Homo-oligomer: A and B are copies of this chain.
Amino acid sequence: MHTYRIAAIPGDGIGKEVVPAALEVLDAVAALHGGIAFRYDAFPWSCDYYLAHGKMMPDDGLRTLRDYDAIFLGAVGDPARVPDHVSLWGLLIAIRREFEQAINLRPAKLFRGLESPLRRPNDFDFVVVRENSEGEYSEIGGRIHKGADELAVQSAIFTRRGTEQAIRYAFELAGKRRGRVTSATKSNGIVHSMPFWDQVFREVGAEHPDIAASSAHVDALAAFLVTKPETFDVIVGSNLFGDILTDIGAAIMGGIGIAPAANLNVNGKYPSMFEPVHGSAPEIAGLGIANPIGQIWTAKLMLDHLGHQDMGAHLLQVVEDVTEAGLKTRDLGGSAPTLEVSREIVRRLQR
């Protein structure tokens, strides 16, 4: 029996509801398949913590997290009380950066039992590989002058290491899937970073002659996710482009409430972090009606990452059985509370 040590950070808002729900499911999968178990340590780091302590986590927070096998996070942010950039950069982005989680993996597929807002959603199933450590999300920049003369500069940084890592990961992933990679670019308008990105894409592509590689400008690509999502297999994009494209992916699946994500440390030095695409949704927090599927599908990505793809695949199948059976939270057009959905998944895993 191998016991994984998981740092659980529910965070803010609905994170505090969907993380416990997903952990029950995770335990049920482990119990069913056997051979592994999870030990969770919960950390209350959040905007509440910030308001009490003046920081999002203790000074040794990152040191504490380092020894875990994985970090399982809900959502961060409570913009009415703490500015987003303070809460997010103080916790979520701090973890992504400190632990070199350079890849943000975000699958999207047509789910059994869910209604896509698309009229004719062909059976799409793609994964976005988002560069997760640099690019447009950089602290380099600032402002100068006041009043009418004021201006802000924001510098995006694309290193070969960061760019190549994301692109190489995308090609390798495509090799295990349907063999196609599409790169999100905008080199017709953004004339330094994007031509560099394109060049690295071409170079890495040349090492993978077996993979069908193509590029599309991010504006066109955003539109294609609406008009022909079934044509994509692996999409690779910068931090910002990956962020935007994956929200569209979530929308066409039927809602941001189900979209999962993994922040992967691929050099094996540090723990990876698993947190769904959705945020803390303050407007429905505390009502017990949040959709737990994003967090549960994220748990599946954690199982995959820990080497238990069989369990991950089984879990996702059961989740789809439940949506197909019509048990859905409000955001998906149903009326089931959070725990009714997650416990039905547990129940089906136990029988």
Residues of chain B contacted by A243 (CB below 8 angstroms):
186, 189, 219
Is A143's CB within 8 Å of the partner chain B? Answer: yes
Residues of chain B contacted by A161 (CB below 8 angstroms):
148
Residues of chain B contacted by A159 (CB below 8 angstroms):
150-151
Are A160 and B139 interface neighbours, CB within 8 A? Answer: no
Residues of chain B contacted by A77 (CB below 8 angstroms):
188
Q: What's the nearest-Cβ distance from chain B to residue A189, in Å?
A: 5
Are A247 and B227 interface neighbours, CB within 8 A? Answer: no
Is A60's CB within 8 Å of the partner chain B? Answer: no
Is A220's CB within 8 Å of the partner chain B? Answer: yes
Known interface pairs A186-B240, A251-B227; A160-B142 also in contact (CB < 8 Å) = no
Per a CB cutoff under 8 Å, which of B157, B186, B248 touches A151? B157
Are A160 and B147 interface neighbours, CB within 8 A? Answer: yes
Nearest B residue to A228 by beta-carbon distance? B117
Are A239 and B117 interface neighbours, CB within 8 A? Answer: no
Interface residues of A in 265-319 (CB under 8 A from B): none
Are B85 and A239 interface neighbours, CB within 8 A? Answer: no
Are A153 and B156 interface neighbours, CB within 8 A? Answer: yes
Is A256's CB within 8 Å of the partner chain B? Answer: yes
Distance of A195 Cα from B141 Cα, bound (Å): 12
Which residues of chain A have a CB within 8 Å of any CB of chain B? 77, 84-85, 88-89, 93, 115-120, 136-137, 139, 141-143, 147-161, 186-197, 218-220, 222-224, 226-227, 239-240, 243-244, 246-248, 250-252, 255-256
A-B complex: 7 closest residue pairs judged by Cβ atoms: A141-B192, A152-B196, A154-B193, A223-B251, A84-B188, A219-B247, A226-B251
